[in-house]
Structure 1
Amino acid sequence: MSIQSRVIVELRGRIISGELAPGTSLSEIVLAEAFGVSRTPVREALKQLQTEGLVDIRPRVGTFVAAPSRQEITELFQMKELLEGAAARLLAQRGRVPELDALEANLSTADAAVRSGDQEGYAELVHEFHDLVMRGADNAKLADHYRTLMNQLAYPRLVHTSLAQPGRPTRSDSEHHHVLELIRAKDGDGAERVMREHVRASHRALMDGLDRAAPAADGGEPG
């Protein structure tokens, strides 16, 4: 891996995980020192991450971790709904493939996480569930678009906000079970429809969470 590639991978991971929060200022000098490299690979890495929608470069102002607006989050979720719905349909059409065994194991572990109130563990299983559906679709072009979309959403950070809403983990787990039932039944139409409904429900929970957080961030009481 080249120096520039290493910087891209590391910065991308920190942004997606939320370690570098939206709006964080990114200094070429500080990053170069942190990575032990010159400013050139850092500058090129930031340009690449800008094309991926993860970094906002403002001439004569500075470089910042991108902070998607509510409208942008909604638009990204609309695309997520389309892509994951298509993936569920394609997986249902493939029949009994190894990903189905992995999905069944995922849901068994997820059920236990929900029962025990392990929100952190369940959040990771949610991410894995959707990745398995996408992998099971066996469509490289679809997967490429999905990966870019999820990076722009910084999904691992947002999923915690969604799952923090009262009762959402239980409903989410039930929705996953319904999706898998339809995939196992080779019902492509049903699998796509229910997966899209699930993504819309996740989006609503996320926006509710952002609404509750906004008053607190402004110094008021959460709603």
Structure 2
Amino acid sequence: MGDVQSTKTLKETAYEVIKERIVNGEWSGGTFLSEKALSELLEMSKTPIRSALDRLEMMGLVKLSPKQGVIVQEISLKKILEIYELRLALETFAVRQLTGKLDALFFSRLDANLEAQAAAVQAEDVIKYVHLDRQFHEMIVDSLDNSEFAEAMSRIQDKFIIAVRTTFIKNKKRLWGSLEEHRSIRDALAGNDPLVTEQLIAKHIEFVKMILL
């Protein structure tokens, strides 16, 4: 039982470490990853490494080729725009349902996230801000208490982070605009007009899409 649990833990560790480095941009699209190098880096055998790479391939973050080995996938503009369309549908629906119905605990957590966002913006820490941005949007969708919506949101977020990080790195002033839009969305959620919240979050999502185009 211990060996099974250990193997499972190693697979999860390998998956999380490799995914984190891809999502954070340390290993960008086109980067070659050798199983041997990964095995040495993570200090584990190739078995959990291969399991992690298979899982990452299913997510579209790496491509496994018998001849070339493991290559970090480029996220195409088409794929990024598809992600934005899905986010737009998920989040506009979520805020229509949630506006005026969220409790003090939710806003306490959201406000803590916004304070951390402000600190990241002040420091121009793009990687930190992007993770907090992810949490902000996931907290909203999670509040629907709908596991299918939460799973769909989680599934697209890793690829979304790659797109958003690139946008912020190219234009760090956008960090301030994004933060202010988050604050406006927060206030609208506390109000009683779902249409206002829907319009704000749609504009927020569409802005980044417009930059990418």
TM > 0.5 between the two? yes
Relative to structure 1, is the Cα distance of residues 167 and 40 closer, same or farther in structure 2, using a 3 angstrom cutoff?
A: closer
> In 2, are the aligned partners of 1:29 and 1:39 still within 8 Å (CA)?
yes
> What's 2:198 paired with?
192
SS where residue 95 of structure 1 aligns?
coil
> What's 1:50 paired with?
57
Query: Deviation of residue 124 (structure 1)?
Result: 4.6
SS where residue 33 of structure 2 aligns?
coil
Deviation string for 1:104-146 (max 9, x for gaps)? 34335545665xx432164454333223223333322211111
In the comparison of the two structures, how many residue pairs are matched?
Answer: 203
> What's 2:150 paired with?
143
Deviation string for 1:31-63 (max 9, x for gaps)? 123223332222222111111111112332221
SS where residue 143 of structure 2 aligns?
helix
SS where residue 5 of structure 1 aligns?
helix
> What's 2:97 paired with?
90
Note the residue ranges of structure 2 that are not aligned, 5 or more in a row: none
Which letter maps to 2:186? L
Which letter maps to 2:93? A
Which letter maps to 2:203? E
Query: Deviation of residue 198 (structure 1)?
Result: 0.5
SS where residue 64 of structure 2 aligns?
strand
Give, in whole Å, the separation in 1 of the partners of 2:56 and 2:131. Answer: 24
Query: Deviation of residue 172 (structure 1)?
Result: 1.8
> In 1, are the aligned partners of 2:30 and 2:72 still within 8 Å (CA)?
yes
Give, in whole Å, the separation in 1 of the partners of 2:41 and 2:112. Answer: 40
Query: Deviation of residue 81 (structure 1)?
Result: 1.9
> What's 1:159 paired with?
164
TM-score if structure 1 supplies the norm length?
0.78
Query: Deviation of residue 16 (structure 1)?
Result: 1.6
> What's 1:12 paired with?
19
Deviation string for 1:58-86 (max 9, x for gaps)? 33222111111111111112212222223
Superposed, which structure 2 residues align to 1:3-82 within 5 Å? 3-82=10-89
SS where residue 144 of structure 1 aligns?
helix
Relative to structure 1, is the Cα distance of residues 97 and 56 closer, same or farther in structure 2, using a 3 angstrom cutoff?
A: farther
Query: Deviation of residue 149 (structure 1)?
Result: 0.3
Note the residue ranges of structure 1 that are not aligned, 5 or more in a row: 209-223
Give, in whole Å, the separation in 1 of the partners of 2:111 and 2:72. Answer: 36
Give, in whole Å, the separation in 2 of the partners of 1:126 and 1:16. Answer: 14
Identity %, equivalent residues: 27
Give, in whole Å, the separation in 1 of the partners of 2:97 and 2:62. Answer: 33
Give the counterpart of 1:177 among 183, 186, 191: 183
Runs of 4+ in 1 over 6 A off after TM superposition: none
Tell me if 1:119 matches 2:124.
yes
TM-score if structure 2 supplies the norm length?
0.81
> In 1, are the aligned partners of 2:80 and 2:159 still within 8 Å (CA)?
no
Which letter maps to 2:143? G
Give the root-mean-square deviation of aligned CA atoms: 2.5
